[in-house]
Amino acid sequence: MRRNTRKRSKTTRRAIAALAATALGAGGLVAANVYASAGENGGGNTTKSSPQDQANQVLAAGATTIDCPDVGNRLRQVPDQARAEVDRELALLDQQVADAYQRLQNSAQAIRQDGNFADNAIMGPLQDKRTATIDRIAIAIGRTADRPQGLESLAACTLRAAGDQADTGNGEGGESQNGQGPGQGEGQGQDQGNGQEEPGNNGQAGNGPVAADFVDITTVQPNVNSSQRQQNASLGKFTTDCGVNANKLYNTDNIIVAPGVENGAHHTHDYVGNQANDAFADNEDFAAGETTCQNQGDKSSYYWPVLRLQDGTREFDADQPGGGAEGNAGRILTASQVTLEYVGNPSSEVVAMPKFLRIITGDAKAFTNGTANANAAWSCTGFEDRQLTDKYPICPEGSSVVRTSKFQSCWDGQNVDSANHRDHVAFADPATGACPNGFKAIPQLVQRLVYDVDAPSMNDNGRSSAFYAVDGFPEQMHKPITDHGDFVNVFDEQLMNTMVECINTGRECQ
């Protein structure tokens, strides 16, 4: 009876959220300039051109996307009383960009006929909406804490050629969050020779990928380096088997980033482990949820964007938000193998994770945000000594595609989440394995997904053997660097303690 009551409660919450989203969309608008002046990006040419000239140059270059600053990444403190409202507003920012990108895709003829169309009908209104939404975020925080300063500067968006990868997500160098630098294997073996996106296929839904997003794995040099193990290293390993999502539990929500918001991810996720996960799940739902894990003490939720084969298949979500309506088209591929392993720390023992700890690894917006948080890696079976973040691998016959995500292995000792969903956890130093000051080593989740998919044909832009692509936000152009993974810890206390003991004593357990 209690489960039925909970389901009705979640249905009610879904309806309330829909009404709230409608109300938020009616906020007032404040006009502002859309484009940065020429030369702001540090280019050698200091001759200034008009904002419209810049926009026209980008549009003339071919495939174009929209680049907006990631407001959520900039938030460091959000009071508990304001968190639900802020999360809804952040999700609305994502919806605004997705809507603007769709208008951009559908307006090619109008843009050709009117040089001001993109500015007046798409980019200007987008910035107006973002200005109002960002102001509401600042107001919500300011009710119970210091109002954040400078958020209004994040309202401006730009048009950008789809082949231009942002260098970094934080303006402080290009090192990725796992300490291995931007794009492991970046620039290796590009089929086009000049790194430019080629015309042609541009993906089944028109927003990627293209041939230049793929590389023959046999041309990539080995690039995997192991951390130096110290005397106090914890060398054990705990494995949990939660299946491959054979029961096809999908949704386009994201309970970590956009709780209470339907289609908060704008792409479809595979789920294994906890079966109660959707946008409206709370900790009580997770605790009572069923699990696909063989060890029933693991009710954790493991989820990741689906991989699709762009072979013309009309999937169940072909006309739905988060699916084909937002550019995620093609046949959803189920992994042939999912391995979930927890490993130790190269320099110390580990402590138990707190229940309901939330971790995101990788960055779903890394194409526009930059590489600072990009670390999910692509490879092929038999070639896993060479890992890629910025290319999809072309695997030789008999070899399968592999996606590997290593999750943060240091915890701040206090919080199960943080305002930007990153600051409460961190990666250990790649050279020494040490955690940052004040952080504690926890078991590191290593997620490995294997897919049996034929190599795409590069000579005809995937027409005879289709491209595959990871689901993503529509403006991210299905770039491989946007791959990511999400985890909510719902181990029971006894099993978590067993895991910690196993890892710290150097054993292999499950």
Q: Assess whether 233 and 324 both reside in one domain.
A: yes
Identify whether 47 is part of a domain. yes
Q: Assess whether 232 and 336 both reside in one domain.
A: yes
Q: End of a domain among 145, 161, 177?
A: 161
Say what the pLDDT of residue 169 is.
Answer: 41
277 Cβ neighbours under 8 A, 6+ residues apart: 251, 253, 255, 271, 286, 289, 301, 303, 488
pLDDT in tens, 345-385: 999 999 999 999 999 999 999 999 999 999 999 999 999 99
Q: End of a domain among 121, 136, 161?
A: 161
Q: End of a domain among 161, 186, 203?
A: 161
pLDDT in tens, 187-199: 333 333 333 333 3
Identify whether 201 is part of a domain. no
Q: Assess whether 291 and 403 both reside in one domain.
A: yes
Average of pLDDT values for 463-477? 97
CA 502 – CA 236 distance, rounded (Å): 6
Check pLDDT > 60 for residue 329.
Answer: yes
Say what the pLDDT of residue 230 is.
Answer: 79
Identify whether 84 is part of a domain. yes
Identify whether 179 is part of a domain. no
Q: Which two tokens stand for residue 478?
A: 């299905």
Question: What average pLDDT is seen over the chain?
Answer: 85
Say what the pLDDT of residue 81 is.
Answer: 96
Q: Assess whether 237 and 138 both reside in one domain.
A: no
Q: Assess whether 234 and 145 both reside in one domain.
A: no
Tokens 């403190």 belong to 77
Q: Assess whether 358 and 241 both reside in one domain.
A: yes
Q: Assess whether 393 and 463 both reside in one domain.
A: yes
Identify whether 243 is part of a domain. yes
Identify whether 204 is part of a domain. no
Kindly state the percentage of the chain with pLDDT values over 70: 80
Identify whether 198 is part of a domain. no
Identify whether 493 is part of a domain. yes
Could you tell me if 459 and 272 are in contact, meaning their C-beta atoms sit under 8 angstroms apart? no
Domain count, the chain: 2
CA 64 – CA 54 distance, rounded (Å): 13
CA 347 – CA 431 distance, rounded (Å): 10
CA 465 – CA 351 distance, rounded (Å): 47
Q: Which two tokens stand for residue 430?
A: 């790649």
Provide the sign of the torsion angle of the four alpha carbons 123, 128, 131, 132, taken in this order: negative
Task: Report the DSSP pairing between strands 392-394 and 214-216.
Answer: parallel
Containing domain of residue 440, as a range? 211-502
Q: Assess whether 246 and 142 both reside in one domain.
A: no
Give the pLDDT band (50/70/90) at residue 163. confident
Q: Assess whether 377 and 489 both reside in one domain.
A: yes
pTM of the model: 0.85
Greatest C-alpha distance within the chain: 70
Q: Which residues pair with 504 in a beta bridge?
A: none
Helix runs in 106-149, H state only: 108-113, 117, 124-142
pLDDT in tens, 408-421: 999 999 999 999 99
Q: Assess whether 66 and 142 both reside in one domain.
A: yes
Q: Which two tokens stand for residue 489?
A: 């810890």
Q: Which two tokens stand for residue 500?
A: 């910690």
Check pLDDT > 60 for residue 52.
Answer: no
Q: Assess whether 131 and 269 both reside in one domain.
A: no
Strand order in the sheet with 440-441: 425-426, 410-411, 440-441
Q: Assess whether 145 and 292 both reside in one domain.
A: no
Closest CA to 444 of 398, 414, 411, 415: 411
Q: Which two tokens stand for residue 94?
A: 């994502």
